[in-house]
Amino acid sequence: MEDKEIRRYSAVVVDGVEQAPSRAMLRAVGFEEEDFVKPQVGIASTWSMTTPCNMHIDELARKAGEGTDAAGGKSVIFNTISVSDGIAMGTLGMRYSLVSREIIADSIEAVAGAEGFDGMVAIGGCDKNMPACVMAMARLNRPSVFVYGGTIRPGAKRRDIVSVFEAVGAYAGNKIDEDELLEVEQTAIPGPGACGGMYTANTMASAIEALGMSLANSSAQEAVSEAKAMDCLRAGEAVVNLIQLNITPRDIMTKKAFENAIVVVTALGGSTNAVMHLIAMAHEAEVDLSLEDFTRIGGKVPVVADLKPSGRYLMSELIEIGGIQPLMRRLLDDGLLHGDCLTVTGRTLAENLADVADYPDGQEVIRDFDNPIKPEGHLVIMYGNLAPDGAVAKITGKEGLRFEGTAKVYHSEEAALQAILDGAVGKGDVVVIRYEGPKGGPGMREMLSPTGAIMGKGLGADVALITDGRFSGGSHGFVVGHVTPEAAVGGPIALIEDGDAILIDAENHRIDLMVGEQQIEKRRKNWQRPPSSVSGGLLAKYRADVQSASAGAITVAPPWDD
């Protein structure tokens, strides 16, 4: 890495006679005279009481501040928003979930840019917090460390939030009664922390650790634990070290580092949302990452983690055997990781992993590479006349590799869910949920309610679901999302009719509408976009700027017209 001049961004805020007003304001929030010559570190906290994922992060932010101050920096804690996917799921409020990723990234950039911070620690605990924090770090390119807020402890009988969604389907299918549903609801979420399987939160935490932007094991600690408190203290110390070494996020977030993240997500059987989020993060770091990279890397990386939703174990059980560090050591030893990538420790990935011990004998959470759950990656990028620009499927192999069925088409998640619960969806059906893409939603809602209902009713092996929306990391079954172009821009998914034959072929990475091209063209000429209920406000602004799911659903303003 070439030497760079250390830039003290805070100097423009605190140095010189003319900045006396700035110093006066800072004295009021706790600055002492000696603090004005210290590197200022913004501690971006995503604390709120809107979700258990983030309800404890105010305490973690203070710990990160303590670590920063002890290492010779001056910490300044500030907040940003958080939207709860679990609470908004299945409602129109879920349209704001992916939008919040952009708001969080924008707000962190705004505060850090305005205040002149020399570095940052950002603490995220829910799905969109995490990529958003890293997107802001990449934009600002100031020394930064990301801290994961930590996973939730299991509920009674090893339950989690997905247990509740699937219990709704089980109740609708007369498999459990109302008292049993209530008991699941009351016991599934015991306290702070992100959803407990290898869902999107734990997937993205693992990806960011593999990317090099978190300290070792940040992704594999319970939210309420001494280990997580220490992680925050060490992150505060680490960011001061990065400032002194002048190591910035773009030194770390290289193409090879993103490849490492994809490798780890694949080995863990992680969420489909990782595809979109990693592409968006790479865009902010000016790294060229595309759907083809997931296909290329997935072809050589086995799925070895037997984790929920499709597997048996929770994140807390992976933590008990050592987290993802031993897995990364195995991947490195097998030549699947780039060991020369720089990390927030100031050392390379290989140096960080040099002394990592293997998993204990007898554990069954992480399999050996010669006995994988799936010999190739589970994130299957599909193309065909239904998805010319790509679609993302999560195929662990337990669902089968091929599904051919007849379409049942719905223009919203609510309509599809009601049909599933009412028994209108049966064996051999392909549920098509459209106008739920980034522009069509707007906001690209996750389809955990419909997929949870399908699994809960015992139809997981008999029904497929495709959508231009997204899936929660908790979704499993034969599901294909991120279908592009989306219906709202006239993509082929908009042209499907009830009764059409649809073929999903995971082995050949194909998703096709089995209708003649002439018939498809006739439908295309007659297609009209349905009216939207959104005419103004944030969602309308998002709809105007958002790009396709295949481009990471990033928001890009039109170029300035000179």
Give the residue among 190, 339, 326 at the shortest CA–CA distance from 259: 339
Residues whose CB is less than 8 angstroms from the CB of residue 171 and which lie 6 or more positions away in sequence, other chains included: 177, 178, 180, 181, 456
Angle at CA 538, nearest 5°, toward 537 and 541? 90
The CA-based diameter of the chain, rounded to the nearest angstrom, is 76
Can you state the angle between helices 129-140 and 95-115, rounded to 10 degrees? 30
Q: What is the CA radius of gyration of the chain?
A: 23
CA distance 183 to 505: 39
CA distance 100 to 86: 14
| Residues annotated catalytic, as ranges | 472
**Omega cis (within 30) before 309:** yes
**Number of other residues whose CB lies within 10 A of the CB of residue 346:** 14
Reduced to 3 states, what is the DSSP secondary structure of residue 403? strand
**Number of other residues whose CB lies within 10 A of the CB of residue 287:** 18
CA distance 454 to 450: 6
Locate the DSSP E strands across 220-341. Answer: none
CA distance 515 to 512: 9
**Burial class of 511 by CB neighbour count within 10 A (0 to 12, 13 to 18, 19+):** buried
In the chain, the amino acid numbered 537 is G
